[in-house]
Amino acid sequence: MSGKTVTLRADTRETQRQMTALATADSTAPQKLTHRQTMWIVAGVLLPVFMGSMDQTVVSSALPSIGNSLGGTHYLSWVVAANLLTMTAMTPLYGKISDIIGRRSTLLIGVSVFMVASLVSALAVNLPMLIVGRALQGLGSAGMTSLAMTILGDVAAPKDRARYYTYFSIVYITSGAVGPMWGGFASQHLHWSAVFWLNVPMGLCALTLLWFLLKKLPRHERPHKLDILGAVLIVAASSSCLFVLNAGGANYPWGSPEIMGASLFSAFCWIAFVRRLLTAPEPLIPIGVLKNRVVLLATISNGVGWASVTGLNIYLPMFLQAVHGYSPSGAGVAVIPLMVTVNASALVGAHLTGRLTHYKIPPLISLAVGVAACLWLAFRAETIGFTEFMIVVAIIGSGFGPSAPTSTVAMQNAVELHQMGISVATMSFTRSLVATGLVAAYGLIALGFSARGMNSQEAVETVRSFFGGPAEAAAHFRLIFLCTAGTFSISFLAFLMMEERPLMSERAK
């Protein structure tokens, strides 16, 4: 009897264990969301998207005021660079953390860090303190935009994402326009610190929205390891490389011990980073994910294309001022069509992606037209008129725009949900890393403006005196535009080679 009793008890415990496991699986299984539920979740992440996107542009127009107030003009570029570097390095970590503990918790952490860092920046009494604050802001903002796109992948099937992508694009357009305007207005009529103080009330609103609206967000956590060493190596490699590109020939001679030492240190860190990628159990950039050719090629096309747009957005105003004598406000107005058409054409591309079987065709045509427009801008650099310039940059923006959502959706369509976070983060990481290098390289071509405060009139006069006049300056900017045509061509080729897989009508489990 005792043996039967033990057996019966064991069977009962096993049955209870199976029922408990089944109940747990049922409670955590992803449920299909209604359109209304999906809209509430999308609404919850739009404010963090706005804050993260605006943070990348709002400081540029306030740099002259910051330099006048805190001094250290030659190191003003680090107010932007420190933020960009930490954001670049942390983006993959945020993606992996969100795959471990969930998107909602990770996004709450990012917004909280961003708020604290904004306080540090607003209270800065010298330039080093501001640079530290901006670096901390990068730690927070790294996940605010990329995680929002990951969440879109969680709640909507690839064929349905176009309708929701529209809202993200509207926010991008708004933040892109509001950022420079708010930065200029605050620094001129209030105080440059107001740029950072605004983030506090917005952050509190964002935390409230995330806490309540993302409760029904599907969860797809899996255990992962964080590659902290890889993040440290990429920060060290990128920082030292950017220091060489910014300070070489400006603050230190190219052959000085400071520049040579930083160059060797950067090379060592890059080699160590590559070795880490090849040997770590779970590297910062997952090699396994990148073995998927759709993910790899979509990441290259999206990253290089966005980096090209970023470079143009930074250097076109300087081109108009140095070569054609535009005022800062006039140059800013002339460049507006670039970002407006990028985002407007992205909306069109998003809708076409969900409706066309051969969804690669429109982006390929538009990218080819964008390359041609960059070549036109290069060869007309010295004589181009105001209206012609606005038309050309509008064509360039329309050329890249449709490929952005299509490459993102194609990448999300090719990975499993538990890898969505790190895959989107890898695309964002690549975009930021390429943009950092490209902007620094363009700075070298255009006399290292980044080390002198790119938006100041002093930089314009410096380039004219260095080159000897507008004609000589035009030759250097012509090289920048030719390089942009080349990078857009790389984006085109990667998109061309990407496999055109049918988009799923249901989210992958």
In this predicted structure, which of 84-93, 363-372, 490-499 has the lowest mean pLDDT? 84-93
In this predicted structure, which of 2-16, 52-66, 199-213, 327-341 has the lowest mean pLDDT? 2-16
Q: In this predicted model, what pLDDT tens digit does every residue of 436-466 receive, in sequence order?
A: 778 777 767 765 443 344 444 455 555 555 4
The predicted model gives 286-306 an average pLDDT of: 82
Q: In this predicted model, what pLDDT tens digit does every residue of 140-157 receive, in sequence order?
A: 888 787 777 777 766 666
pLDDT, position 68? 74
Instruction: Note the pTM of the prediction, 2 decimals.
Output: 0.69
Rounded CA separation 311/442 (Å) = 7
Residues 6+ apart with CB under 8 A from 377: 384, 389, 392, 393, 396, 481
Look up residue 252 and give its DSSP letter. Answer: B
Rounded CA separation 241/258 (Å) = 12
Q: In this predicted model, what pLDDT tens digit does every residue of 206-262 receive, in sequence order?
A: 888 778 777 666 665 556 666 778 878 877 887 787 677 666 666 677 788 888 898
pLDDT, position 5? 47
pLDDT, position 160? 65
Closest CA to 99 of 282, 222, 281: 222
% residues pLDDT > 70 (the chain): 72
Rounded CA separation 430/315 (Å) = 21
Q: Which amino acid is at 46?
A: L
| 286 three-class SS | coil
Look up tokens 């294309």; give the residue: 305
Determine the distance from the C-alpha atom of residue 268 to the mean position of all C-alpha atoms in its chain, rounded to a whole number: 26
| 217 three-class SS | coil
48-52, 117-121, 175-179 — which one is most confidently predicted on average? Answer: 117-121
Other C-beta atoms closer than 10 Å to the C-beta of 407 total: 29
| 248 three-class SS | strand
In the beta sheet, which residues pair with residue 248?
Answer: 252
Closest CA to 77 of 140, 131, 157, 7: 131
Q: Is 178 exposed, middle or buried (0-12, 13-18, 19+ CB in 10 A)?
A: middle
* pLDDT-based confidence at residue 39 (cuts at 50, 70, 90): confident
Q: Which amino acid is at 66?
A: I
Rounded CA separation 467/286 (Å) = 45
* pLDDT-based confidence at residue 488 (cuts at 50, 70, 90): very high
Residue 89 has pLDDT above 60, yes or no: yes
Residue 427's region, left for phi above 0, alpha for psi from -120 to 50, else beta, is alpha
Token readout for 50 is 């706005």
Higher pLDDT pick, 135 / 18: 135
pLDDT, position 32? 62
Residue 369 has pLDDT above 80, yes or no: yes
pLDDT, position 203? 87
Q: Which amino acid is at 13?
A: R
The predicted model gives 107-122 an average pLDDT of: 88
Closest CA to 284 of 294, 276, 275: 276
